[in-house]
Amino acid sequence: MEKNKVKKDIQNRLKRIEGQVKGIEKMVDNDVECKDILIQIAAIRSAINKVGTLIFENYATKCFAESEDNNSENKVEDLVSTLTMFIK
């Protein structure tokens, strides 16, 4: 996917997540059932994971395609380190 398209997609997803968070704030203010709030929290968690995945895919592509360092072992170590941090 083109760099600007990826960036725009990520920005749009983040704006949606922001709206979802504001929606949860209103739900809490209005004493909505905990179950309904938890469902929305799960939706936000899923959306955040998707944004993280898109960013990680972009990073991985850049790591291998655009790196000036030709040492693939270093690239793999860096990629694994970043992935490990992401999934914690």
* Domain chopping of the chain, boundaries: 3-87
The answer to whether 44 and 21 have CB atoms below 8 angstroms apart is yes
| DSSP designation for 53 | H
CA atoms within 13 A on the CB side of 66: 6
pTM for this model (two decimals): 0.77
In the block, tokens 């995945």 appear at 53
Domain 3-87 matching CATH 1.20.58.1000: the answer reads yes
Q: How confident is the model at residue 32 (pLDDT cuts 50, 70, 90)?
A: very high
Tokens 């040492």 belong to residue: 71
Vertex 17: Cα angle to 14 and 20 (nearest 5):
155
Range scoring the smallest mean pLDDT among 15-29, 37-51, 52-66:
52-66
